[in-house]
Chains A and B, each alone.
Chain A
């Protein structure tokens, strides 16, 4: 099982988070933690989501990037990855 953390910048629509949750589940990833904040200046959402799966992360990243309201998605250096790298 591989653990990853993604940082996602997205337009703030009522269903944005719902879209993200659905696609994460459907593409075979489990959410381990989730944090969402709204940027007070531009109104956009900043979402940090930690996921785990046997599937390669890029298969999820590519699908999230295609969501119309998503502006950017990138992998963060999650503690779990660092831990496994140093183990």
Chain B
């Protein structure tokens, strides 16, 4: 068998049925062998689209995504996707072709040191020049990507290694890396802190989703009735009907969530990492709270905040150990309930023009529990995080750590390929949509019924908002009033659509969007004046939130 066939064999060994990529010179041996397999290759129109589609696939399916590209520009175009997967801890295996080994370091055509480029944006990376190493390396790659704290792994393979004959190798499955068992003394301390706390809060992060511990978390909340908040990545882990769930915390979080965190005396951090967008001014974040930190990654525990009880391990195992019944939290729960009521989102926006939060709430109320929402990055993303109510965390897919504009469309493609029976709605903005707009060709080719909701304020809205608030209204390069006609552009890809401008059009337009048989673009004109509120200004504590006129 050839090295290229070894790659295919490894993909099959790991039950990979769908990959995303773009062919080119050095990776051609693998593409040639793909013709003879039943692995579905999704041709994206840019390698960045392929990487992000693989991320969307991984996040929707809860499995490892695979993307593939050629050397040089193919590989460099993957880099943003790798960085995105790194920041959001998404299991991803990226396979790239490399120039033949004698040409490495000679500035050959489409040669770039992708191993060097990968060091800052992957969990690990390999350069394979010896075909006899290929089977072992690919096995390692899949193990590393999905074990512990997941992340992206790059496997760069020279063309001569792909073409070489290698003896059929039996692939030895690697044992997954075992999470450490919780230490007894820490369990005792944590349970004692929880039992003694008068005002405990759960600060829940994406680690719950990655650790597939949503069920255990929900059981824990049902039993303890401890109030909770989530990060952007953990939206959907706690049911929205849960009486003491306050939504997202942080810079654009719900005020109730931020105030409750500031008032708590115990913070139980579950798969979260004190991101700066979450904590605001770190020194004033939950200033009176002791901290119990549960995470799979030892490097995150105590990274920014002194921890009373460190608990490194598998969240599925840890959470049942901490489950206590009959906690006497009535007074605190009452306060939390009052905060929740006081700071409930309001949708009574005056006038006839479309108010994005209201529209998103209407959309959220209309979609079914299986619907997957993907977003781009910007104001629309924060509005979606505030006002959409996903039933499950795998149903809300958004670039959180890296904040990658252009993420939404390819992520939606990946999600739809992963779960073809479930509806997929992309919520995007006019700035972000143009960043990977070429992937509409992938929608067309694959006939994927992805529903696109495009909130168009003809601005780079979030940047403009910051220019308005923090740069004395000096608007530098945020005017997009020369946007293309989006509906006409979509039509060029056989995607029907319409534009709406007033509130009264919204219900029928949402109905058309969701019930159309294929892809559909709902182009929504909104005011450039609408900003995302509330907002914690940079460097401020989370209880010092700005409220706008919206």
Chain A positions within 8 Å of B, measured between CB atoms, are: 14-15, 18-19, 22, 26, 58-59, 62-63, 65-68
Contact = CB atoms under 8 A, between A and B. Distances in A.
Given A18-B119, A65-B299, A68-B123, 6 more contacts: A15-B115, A15-B119, A19-B119, A58-B302, A59-B299, A68-B124
Nearest to B143: A68
26 contacts: A14-B127, A15-B115, A15-B116, A15-B119, A15-B127, A18-B116, A18-B119, A19-B119, A22-B119, A22-B120, A26-B120, A58-B302, A59-B299, A59-B303, A62-B298, A62-B299, A62-B303, A63-B299, A65-B298, A65-B299, A66-B297, A66-B299, A67-B124, A68-B123, A68-B124, A68-B144
A65 B149 CA distance: 13
A68 B119 CA distance: 12
How big is the B interface, by class?
10 to 19
Contacts of B303: 59, 62
Contacts of B298: 62, 65
B338 to A, nearest CB: 39
Nearest to B151: A66
Nearest to B153: A68
A65 B312 CA distance: 15
Contacts of B297: 66
Most chain A beta carbons < 10 A, residue from B116, B119, B120, B127:
B119
A55 B116 CA distance: 26
* Nearest 9 A/B pairs, CB to CB: A62-B299, A68-B124, A22-B119, A63-B299, A19-B119, A66-B299, A62-B298, A68-B144, A59-B303
A6 to B, nearest CB: 15
Nearest to B300: A62
A66 B89 CA distance: 14
Contacts of A62: 298-299, 303
Interface string B294-313: 00011100110000000000
A63 B298 CA distance: 9
A14 B124 CA distance: 14
A58 B298 CA distance: 10
A19 to B, nearest CB: 6
Nearest to B119: A22
B130 to A, nearest CB: 12
A11 B222 CA distance: 46
A21 to B, nearest CB: 9
A1 B299 CA distance: 22
A18 B127 CA distance: 14
B349 to A, nearest CB: 44
Contacts of A22: 119-120
Nearest to A27: B299
A62 B312 CA distance: 13
Contacts of A18: 116, 119
Nearest to B299: A62
A83 B115 CA distance: 40
Nearest to A18: B119
Contacts of A65: 298-299
A67 B119 CA distance: 10
A54 to B, nearest CB: 15
Nearest to A62: B299
B10 to A, nearest CB: 18
Most chain B beta carbons < 10 A, residue from A14, A58, A63:
A58
Interface in B113-140: 115-116, 119-120, 123-124, 127
Contacts of B116: 15, 18
Nearest to B118: A15
Contacts of B115: 15
A13 B229 CA distance: 43
A71 to B, nearest CB: 14
Nearest to A64: B299
A48 B299 CA distance: 21
Contacts of A59: 299, 303
Nearest to A68: B124
